[in-house]
């Protein structure tokens, strides 16, 4: 009775014609149901016009909005917005916010969709995060994708592990996986390309099937379609690349014109700008470039440096080329080089009376006078102002041209031979002199020589002179001879050599003779190094074995005396030794 009286005291119903407000805890309700100082509890759903707008069915689910989670049987889902999660049946731990977000999701789990129609077509794809109007709208079974921005990943269906940030980023991706696109329309046309990274508006815009590309900067790798393993850092870097592969461009406009060129490296603003289809080219420095589009293995280093030929390296700019207003000097071990190439080991340039500005110690122009000299280079250790190793030209007669000069090694920059040393002179006629300026023969030595062996020929293969000393200093051959071709033959039948008298007459097996004919006599074979079967010539094998070759198992070789001279075995020559 007390409960009824209390309820009657709190619940007041006021009627005015056909309209009435109900107040709970309020004596003056302003709405059809006005609850004050209390809570509302229901074990069902809240509806407006017979349409469910708020429900919490199952375990841990909360649905807000018309038809949100209408077919849900899964758990731990939160759907907010008209038709959000409409088709979800067994999907779990999903969060859908916005009109028709995750509309077709049935069994996909762990998804987060925010924005009009985000993740609209997702059915069973799990672990996706789509934020923005129509983000991931076409995704069906793709997994672990993250799309942020209006229409990001718009056409993705089965692509996995993608991250798209920015309006229209990855818009046309369908099945490409492991891509990361950051910026408006980055990777816009990518469809099946995988493992690409694009950062900046329109970066990798036209890429469709290219893989493992990295584009960072506005319009970088813009036209790439199926190029692989390219890296572009800077606005318009590798802009026109289509199918080029393994290229690296660092700096705005670097490798801008490249279309199909491969394995190029450009570092610096506008570097290798004109490379179209060249390969293995390198440009390092502002505006460093190639002269033509199809060079190979060409390298330009330095601001405004340009290389004009394949397999060439250019260091520094050239005045009037590539917009340069000056040329550069190159120093190795020198901080202020005064020559085109200056080399030093102690920080000081080599100097002397013949130094020049092309290569340190360049002597300048060869004069027209007898004995005039020009030092082309002085390389090596320094002694006061002179180097201990030099290369210079030497004019032997007045008015003679370069072809009548000599090339001298180990001359100082002041045009004198190194004190206490010799020098090497190479004449224009091919003569070589040691310690003589004017060699009169192919080899003209002013002094004694020492060698272990000397072979002198007369234009043929046979030796006219062969000199070989053994350890005792004995000379093997000291006079020349006239060659005559004869056959050496070896006895394969006859008496077996032993310390007892032979049992038969005739040659001794293993004996070698000189034979002047072509037809080898019976019981003899020519000594041409041929292989014989052990079973056919057992006695001969027992005598010479594999001294001259063969495997010793089923064959052995005869001596090869074609074009050779037999030499007595001793301390210098071993049995079977062959000298080249």
pLDDT greater at residue 541 or residue 480: 541
Mean pLDDT, residues 201-229 taken together: 95
CA distance 155 to 163: 14
Percent of the chain residues topping a pLDDT of 90: 54
The DSSP bridge pattern shows strands 180-182 and 163-165 to be parallel
Q: What is the reported pLDDT for 570? A: 78
pLDDT value for 537: 95
pLDDT of residue 452: 66
**Cα separation, 573 vs 578, whole angstroms:** 9
pLDDT at 444: 86
Average pLDDT over residues 573-578: 80
Residue 11: is its pLDDT beyond 70?
no
Least confident of 91-105, 225-239, 532-546, 558-572: 558-572
- Name the CA dihedral angle for 567, 570, 572, 576, rounded to a multiple of 10 degrees: 60
DSSP 414: T
User: What's the residue count for the chain?
Assistant: 580
Residue 377 token pair:
């280079």
* Nearest residue to 239 (alpha-carbon basis) of 210, 270, 278, 212: 270
pLDDT, one tens digit per residue, over 136-189 is: 999 989 999 999 999 999 999 899 999 999 999 999 999 999 999 999 999 999
Average pLDDT estimate for 231-257 = 96
Give phi and psi for 370, each to the nearest 5: -60, 140
Higher pLDDT, 106 or 358: 106
Q: What is the pLDDT of residue 462?
A: 46
- Cβ atoms of 69 and 88 within 8 Å: the answer is yes
Per-residue pLDDT of 385-420, as tens digits, reads 444 444 555 445 554 443 344 455 554 544 455 555
Judged against a pLDDT cut of 90, whether residue 79 lies above it is answered with yes
pLDDT of amino acid 402: 39
pLDDT of residue 559: 94
Neighbours of 263 (CB within 10 A): 17
Instruction: Please state the rounded mean pLDDT for residues 182-201.
Output: 94
pLDDT class of 353 with cuts at 50, 70, 90: very low
Please compute the mean of the pLDDT values over residues 372-397 and round it to a whole number: 46
What is the pLDDT averaged over residues 279-302?
A: 96
State the pLDDT at residue 432. Answer: 84
Q: Please count the CA atoms within 13 angstroms of the CA of 552 that sit on its side-chain side.
A: 8
Predicted pLDDT of residue 448: 78
Give residue 368's pLDDT. Answer: 52
| β 289-290/282-284 pair status | unpaired
Q: Where are the domains of the chain?
A: 2-35, 487-557
**The pLDDT value given to residue 425:** 73
Specify the range with the lowest mean pLDDT, choosing from 205-209, 258-262, 379-383, 561-565.
379-383
CB 224 within 8 A of CB 230: yes
Section 262-291 average pLDDT: 96
User: What's the pLDDT tens digit per position in 504-534?
Assistant: 667 899 999 999 988 899 999 999 999 999 9
pTM of the model: 0.59
Residue 45 has pLDDT above 80, yes or no: no
Burial class (CB in 10 A: 0-12, 13-18, 19+), 252: buried
């Amino acid at each position: 009775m007390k409960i009824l009286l209390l309820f009657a005291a709190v619940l007041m119903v006021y009627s005015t014609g056909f309209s009435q407000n109900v107040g709970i805890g309020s004596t003056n309700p302003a709405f059809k149901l006005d609850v004050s100082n209390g809570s509302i509890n229901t074990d069902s759903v809240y509806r407006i016009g017979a349409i469910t707008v708020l429900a919490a069915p199952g375990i841990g689910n909360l649905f807000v909005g018309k038809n949100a989670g209408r077919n849900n049987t899964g758990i731990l889902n939160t759907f907010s917005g008209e038709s959000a999660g409409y088709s979800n049946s067994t999907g779990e731990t999903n969060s859908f916010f916005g009109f028709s977000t995750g509309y077709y999701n049935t069994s996909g789990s762990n998804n987060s969709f925010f924005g009009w129609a985000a993740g609209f077509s997702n059915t069973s794809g799990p672990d996706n995060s789509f934020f923005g109007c129509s983000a991931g709208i076409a995704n069906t079974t793709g997994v672990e994708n993250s799309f942020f921005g209006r229409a990001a990943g718009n056409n993705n269906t089965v692509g996995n592990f993608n991250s798209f940030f920015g309006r229209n980023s990855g818009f046309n991706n369908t099945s490409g996986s492991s891509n990361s696109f950051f910026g408006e329309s980055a990777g816009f046309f990518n469809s099946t390309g995988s493992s690409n990274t694009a950062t900046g508006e329109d970066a990798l815009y036209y890429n469709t099937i290219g893989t493992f590309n990295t584009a960072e900067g506005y319009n970088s790798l813009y036209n790439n379609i199926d190029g692989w393993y390219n890296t572009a850092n800077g606005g318009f870097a590798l802009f026109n690349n289509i199918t080029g592969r393994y290229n690296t461009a660092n700096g705005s406009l670097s490798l801008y014109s490249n279309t199909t060129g491969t394995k190029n490296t450009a570092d610096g603003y506008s570097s290798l700008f004109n490379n179209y289809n060249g390969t293995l080219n390198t440009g390092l420095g502002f505006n460093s470039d190639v002269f033509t589009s199809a060079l190979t293995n060409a390298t330009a280093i330095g601001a405004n440096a340009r290389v004009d030929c394949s397999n060439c390296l250019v260091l520094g700019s050239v005045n009037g080329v590539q917009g340069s207003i000056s040329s550069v000097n190159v120093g190795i071990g020198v901080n202020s080089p005064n020559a085109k190439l200056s080399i030093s080991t102690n920080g000081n340039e080599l100097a002397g009376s013949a130094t020049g500005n092309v290569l340190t110690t360049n002597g300048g122009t060869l004069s027209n006078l007898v004995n005039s000299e020009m030092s082309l280079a002085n390389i090596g250790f320094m002694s006061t102002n002179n180097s201990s190793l030099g290369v210079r030209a030497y004019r032997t007669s007045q008015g003679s041209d370069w072809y009548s000069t000599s090339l001298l090694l180990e001359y100082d920059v002041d045009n004198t031979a190194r004190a206490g040393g010799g020098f090497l002179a190479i004449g224009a006629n091919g003569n070589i002199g040691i310690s003589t300026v004017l060699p009169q023969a192919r080899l003209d030595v002013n002094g004694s020589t020492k060698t272990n062996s000397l072979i002198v020929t007369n234009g043929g293969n046979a030796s006219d002179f062969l000199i070989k000393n053994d350890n005792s200093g004995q000379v093997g051959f000291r006079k020349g001879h006239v060659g005559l071709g004869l056959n050496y033959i070896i006895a394969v039948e006859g008496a077996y050599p032993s310390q007892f008298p032979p049992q038969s007459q005739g040659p001794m097996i293993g004996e070698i003779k000189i034979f002047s004919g072509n037809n080898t006599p019976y019981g003899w074979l020519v000594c041409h190094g041929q292989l014989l079967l052990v079973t056919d010539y057992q006695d001969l094998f027992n005598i010479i074995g594999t001294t001259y070759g063969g495997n010793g198992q089923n064959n052995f070789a005869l001596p090869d005396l074609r074009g050779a001279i037999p030499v007595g075995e001793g301390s210098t020559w071993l049995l079977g030794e062959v000298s080249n």
